[in-house]
């Protein structure tokens, strides 16, 4: 009679293993469903209960879908290359390979506890040569198509990790990994031309079922701007300065020019008497990060070069300055400054006493400068009186007639710095030959193995530790057989994660990265679950890779993840749980006391899955007590089942209706409340006995949340097959109807739709249903709902801003 979760859980885990229950072979004849977790990098700290949340959500969802008749692919693997693994290894004096093996073993043990439906036959590991062979293969394909190229340029440099970083890895001017302030460093780098895909990456967001905030972040990161390229002829020098501007309408207000300190023209046009000052300025600017350089409100710095350009439409010369608020890697690295209508130009002009000419005025009269809003042109000759949008077009035409401008689009997205000067990564499969130049390693010579070495600490010279290994560096040219040297940089952490989800479809293939058939069968991923911190890094890089692989003709889809769910974090005392902060709860301890199922169910109960939620041991104990009650209820009733009576039938149909609706709208926390409410009701009824349909329904429905207990309850009811071979319970509306009401749904006080709901519907359900109505979504999408009112039996009113 006593609920002993640990015993039950061991028993079912063993049974699943024996029966290979989670094997996905694609031969069941059922429709497929691919539910994927963002695979973890196996850190030395192991998993805490915060990590469990996402893994549990994805498993609950997989099992729920399985009960709907799908064959489920729910794989797991290891993102094991990269800085975290390497930094951990260095700190602890263990070779990264050994440390990684140990960490994977520990992670796997912990993940197996969850009791998830992982098909371990499909496990992938990015550090396994049989995997990274294909990571290198895709690099070679990029190189062959001109998408991987080398360029000398200032890049983000982390002085603490001693490596270059991609823009996406710099957060508020600091290294995403270690938090050290990032500096700039001029280096020859391997780059991937992700910018070639900017438009597709932007437009195709529309076809994805992703949270709006993630799409918004990607759109902002890609940052498409429309405007013009405008050329200004240099006075007393040959050549011209080209700028990108989103405000060509303000051309008559341009009073000076600014070049980025790194701009190649700087050294050519600087007057001899300005040289010393200019060079000193360039030098100090190079040491700053782009983020520091872009801070608004900061005292502006800069120097005059001594050179002038000719205004394209006026008989006027504009002085050319250099200043670090202009970035080399945006637009053309040069601007026309319009201090009256741009904040930064205004501060700069004030600082250095430069001319300010107002050219746009708000329709309702005078304005304070700088004025950046919409209005009408003034002081602008042929543009006077035109509104901004029209003036933009007209200005471009006027300058285009003289061959000095044309419409242009600019992106904030930069090409991806794809090299790291570190040991623990995939070697970049390139060989330098004096005769043949840069030669990719042919497919039959892949993988280029990462050599097993004693010393793997970063050198700090800007060279990878691999550069010191002569047996690695010296090789023969794959083309001519002559002596050649290997590239010694490695790929960034993200390389393997850009395509690992394709490999799960066909993980043991040693002839190709995957078979076309297998990938087109399982992909795209139907549901991808992970942390929001990947909104622009991994989630953008993977989309780029998939589009590229689609262009290679290897797959039939060009977006990897049809639906995305980003789970919130678990906090303890208000702070994100993390080993380094010392505020973690270890799942091993919890399982030993309360069992896996209690932890799983509590992880769902803790709050709306997309929001952060505070850990509470009391809450967990409540869930554990609840499961013990469920178990006892079955233990008492299964031997004396009675026929179903109407009160039980009604309760059952209502429970299934409520639960299904909450599941479908991904409200997994209130789904748990539905179980609790139902079981309370059943306990009231229990004195008159319970029927088979009631107990079978509950056993099936609870199984996705507490799979071990679900199987046990199913077995207690006399079954010998698995509960997961059953179907999700259905309900008959007839049992709900008598108590239904129709209510009106208003947005900002106006009726925009109608809903039929159970008379005793909770405010939460009513509001969620209202928001999900297509008619209503139209009115609230992209807006902030600031107030939600529910008047039972009458209306829901949503106030949006």
User: What are the C-alpha distances in Å from 20 to residues 11, 45, 335, 643?
Assistant: 14, 30, 64, 36
**Residue with smaller CB distance to Zn ion, 432 or 666:** 432
Cβ proximity to Zn ion: between 395 and 433 the closer is: 433
Secondary structure (DSSP) of 96-110: HHHHHHHHHHHHHHH
Q: How many CB atoms lie within 10 A of CB 746?
A: 19
Partner from Zn ion, ligand ANZ, none contacting 245, C-beta within 5 to 8 A by type: ligand ANZ
Give the C-alpha separation, 61 to 668, whole Å: 9
For the CB of residue 330, give the shortest distance to ligand ANZ in the complex, in Å.
4
Shortest distance (Å) from residue 428 CB to Zn ion: 17
Distance CA(559)–CA(578), nearest Å, equals 32
Q: Pseudo-torsion of CA 614, 617, 623, 624, nearest 10°?
A: 150
- Nearest CA to 320 out of 426, 410, 235 is that of 235
Strand pairing partners for 575?
572
| Residue 435, binding choice from Zn ion, ligand ANZ, none, Cβ under 5 to 8 Å by partner class | Zn ion
Token pair recorded at residue 139: 């690099």
Q: How far is the CB of 411 from ligand ANZ (least distance, A)?
A: 9
Nearer to ligand ANZ, 394 or 479 (CB): 394
Binding partner of 162, given Zn ion, ligand ANZ, none, CB within 5-8 angstroms per partner class: none
Residue 338's binding partner out of ligand ANZ, Zn ion, none, with CB under 5 to 8 Å set by partner kind: ligand ANZ
Q: Is 581 annotated in some ligand binding site?
A: no
Least separation in angstroms between CB 334 and ligand ANZ: 7
Q: Are strands 183-192 and 224-235 parallel, antiparallel or unpaired?
A: unpaired
Q: Which residue has the tokens 């691919």?
A: 34
- Please state the closest distance from residue 225 (CB atom) to ligand ANZ, in A: 3
User: In the complex, what is the shortest distance from the CB of residue 189 to ligand ANZ, in angstroms, rounded to a whole number?
Assistant: 20
CB 183 within 8 A of CB 159: yes
Instruction: Choose among Zn ion, ligand ANZ, none what residue 126 binds, the Cβ cut-off being 5 to 8 Å by kind.
Output: none
Q: Closest Cα to residue 346, out of 305, 282, 296? A: 296
Among Zn ion, ligand ANZ, none, partner that 717 touches (CB below 5 to 8 angstroms by kind): none
CB 676 within 8 Å of CB 655: no
Pick what 330 binds: Zn ion, ligand ANZ, none; C-beta below 5 to 8 Å, kind-dependent. Answer: ligand ANZ
The residues that bridge with 190 in the sheet, in sequence order, are 150
Which residue is associated with the tokens 């209503």?
A: 776
- Comparing C-alpha atoms, which of 366, 324, 372 is closest to residue 346? 372
Measured from the CB atom, the residue of 293 and 667 that comes closer to ligand ANZ is 293
10 Å CB burial of residue 758 (0-12, 13-18, 19+) is: middle
CA dist., res. 135 & res. 443, Å (int): 11
CB of residue 541 to ligand ANZ, shortest distance in Å: 22
* Least spacing, CB of residue 282 vs ligand ANZ, in Å: 15
Residue 395 or 770 with smaller CB distance to ligand ANZ: 395
Q: Residues interacting with ligand ANZ, by CB under 6 A? A: 225, 244-247, 250, 260, 326-327, 330-331, 333, 335-336, 338, 341-342, 410
From the CB of 255, what's the least distance to ligand ANZ, in Å?
11
Contact residues toward Zn ion (CB under 5 A) are 433, 435-436, 477, 479-480, 482
In terms of CB distance, is 120 or 432 closer to Zn ion? 432
**Sequence-separated (6 or more) residues with CB below 8 Å from residue 133:** 446, 447
C-beta of 28 vs 445, nearer to Zn ion: 445
477 binds, among ligand ANZ, Zn ion, none (CB under 5 to 8 A by kind): Zn ion
Binding partner of residue 342 among ligand ANZ, Zn ion, none, CB under 5 to 8 Å per kind? ligand ANZ
Q: Is the peptide bond before 524 cis (omega within 30 degrees of 0)?
A: yes
Angle at 153 between CA 170 and CA 243, to 5 degrees: 90
* Residue 356 vs 633, nearer CB to ligand ANZ: 356
Q: How many angstroms separate the Cα of 691 from the Cα of each of 421, 634, 682, 711, 754?
A: 67, 11, 10, 18, 37
Name which of 477 and 703 has its Cβ closer to Zn ion: 477
Residue 253 CB, nearest distance to ligand ANZ (Å)? 7
Closest CA to 678 of 723, 708, 647, 711: 647
Residue 741, beta-bridge partner list: 757
Question: Which of ligand ANZ, Zn ion, none does 423 bind, CB closer than 5 to 8 A by kind?
Answer: none
Strand partners, 310: 317
Q: By C-alpha distance, which of 513, 524, 494 is closest to 552?
A: 513
Helix (H, G, I), strand (E, B) or coil at 379: coil
In the complex with ligand ANZ, the residue whose CB is nearer, 9 or 262, is 262
CA distance 779 to 774: 9
Annotated binding site: 579
Annotated binding site for ATP: 579
């Amino acid at each position: 009679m006593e609920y002993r979760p640990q015993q039950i859980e061991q028993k079912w885990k063993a049974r699943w293993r024996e029966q290979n229950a989670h094997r996905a072979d694609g031969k069941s004849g059922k429709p497929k469903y691919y539910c994927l977790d963002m695979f973890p990098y196996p850190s030395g700290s192991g998993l805490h209960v915060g990590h469990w949340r996402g893994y549990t959500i994805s498993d609950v969802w997989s099992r729920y879908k399985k009960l709907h008749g799908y064959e489920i692919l729910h794989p797991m693997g290891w993102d094991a290359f990269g800085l975290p693994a390497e930094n951990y290894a260095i700190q602890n004096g263990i070779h990264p390979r050994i440390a990684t093996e140990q960490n994977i073993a520990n992670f796997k043990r912990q993940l197996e506890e969850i009791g998830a439906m992982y098909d371990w036959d499909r496990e992938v590991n990015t550090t396994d040569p049989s995997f990274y062979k294909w990571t290198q293969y895709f690099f070679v394909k990029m190189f062959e198509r001109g998408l991987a190229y080398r360029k000398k340029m200032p890049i983000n440099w982390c002085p603490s990790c001693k490596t270059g970083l991609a823009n996406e890895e710099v957060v508020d001017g600091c290294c995403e990994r270690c938090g050290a302030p990032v500096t700039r460093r001029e280096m020859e780098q391997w780059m991937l031309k992700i910018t070639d895909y900017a438009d597709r990456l932007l437009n195709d967001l529309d076809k994805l079922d992703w949270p709006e905030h993630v799409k918004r972040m990607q759109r902002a990161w890609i940052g498409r701007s429309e405007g013009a390229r405008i050329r200004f002829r240099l006075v007393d020098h040959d050549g011209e300065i080209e700028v990108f501007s989103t405000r060509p309408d303000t051309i008559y207000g341009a009073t000076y020019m600014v070049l980025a300190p790194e701009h190649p023209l700087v050294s050519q046009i600087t007057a001899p008497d300005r040289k010393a000052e200019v060079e000193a300025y360039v030098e100090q600017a190079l040491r700053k990060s782009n983020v520091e350089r872009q801070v608004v409100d900061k005292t502006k710095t800069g120097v005059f070069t001594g050179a002038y350009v000719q205004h394209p439409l006026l008989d006027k010369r504009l002085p050319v300055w250099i200043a670090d608020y202009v970035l080399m890697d945006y637009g053309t690295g040069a601007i026309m400054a319009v201090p009256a209508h741009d904040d930064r130009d205004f501060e700069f002009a004030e600082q250095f006493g430069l001319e300010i000419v107002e050219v746009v005025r708000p329709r309702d009269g005078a304005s304070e400068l700088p004025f950046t809003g919409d209005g009408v042109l003034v002081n602008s000759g042929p543009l006077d009186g035109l509104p901004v949008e029209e003036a933009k077009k007209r200005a471009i035409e006027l300058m285009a007639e003289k061959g000095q401008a044309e419409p242009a689009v600019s992106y904030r997205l930069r090409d991806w710095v794809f090299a790291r000067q570190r040991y623990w990564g995939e070697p970049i499969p390139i060989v330098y030959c004096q005769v043949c130049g840069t030669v990719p390693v042919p497919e039959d010579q892949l993988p280029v193995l990462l050599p097993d070495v004693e010393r793997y600490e970063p050198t700090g010279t800007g060279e990878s530790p691999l550069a010191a290994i002569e047996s690695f560096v010296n090789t023969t040219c794959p083309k001519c057989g002559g002596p050649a040297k290997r590239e010694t940089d490695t790929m960034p952490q993200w390389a393997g994660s850009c395509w690992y989800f394709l490999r799960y479809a066909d993980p043991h293939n040693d002839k190709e990265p995957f078979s076309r058939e297998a990938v087109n069968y399982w992909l795209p991923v139907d549901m991808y679950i992970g942390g929001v911190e990947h909104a622009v890094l991994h989630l953008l890089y993977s989309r780029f890779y998939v589009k590229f692989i689609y262009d290679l003709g290897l797959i039939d889809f060009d977006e990897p993840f049809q639906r995305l769910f980003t789970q919130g974090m678990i906090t303890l005392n208000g702070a994100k749980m993390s080993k380094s902060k010392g505020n973690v709860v270890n799942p091993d301890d919890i399982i030993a006391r309360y069992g896996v199922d209690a932890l799983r169910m509590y992880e769902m109960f803790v709050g709306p899955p997309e929001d952060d939620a505070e850990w509470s041991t009391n809450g967990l104990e409540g869930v554990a007590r609840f499961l013990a009650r469920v178990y006892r209820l079955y233990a008492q009733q299964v031997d004396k089942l009675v026929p179903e009576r109407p009160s039980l039938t009604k309760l059952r149909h209502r429970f299934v209706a409520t639960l299904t609706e909450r599941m479908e709208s991904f409200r997994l926390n209130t789904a748990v409340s539905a179980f609790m409410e139902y079981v309370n009701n059943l306990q009231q009824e229990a004195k008159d006995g319970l029927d088979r349909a009631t107990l079978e329904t509950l056993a099936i429905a609870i199984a996705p949340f507490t799979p071990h207990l679900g199987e046990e309850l199913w077995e207690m009811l006399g079954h010998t097959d698995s509960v997961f071979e059953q179907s999700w319970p259905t309900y008959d509306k007839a049992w709900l109807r008598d108590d239904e009401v129709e209510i009106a749904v208003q947005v900002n006080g106006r009726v925009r739709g109608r809903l039929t709901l159970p008379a005793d519907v909770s405010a939460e359900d009513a509001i969620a249903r209202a928001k999900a109505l297509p008619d209503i979504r139209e009115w609230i999408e992209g807006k902030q709902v600031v107030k939600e009112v529910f008047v039972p039996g009458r209306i829901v009113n949503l106030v949006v801003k």
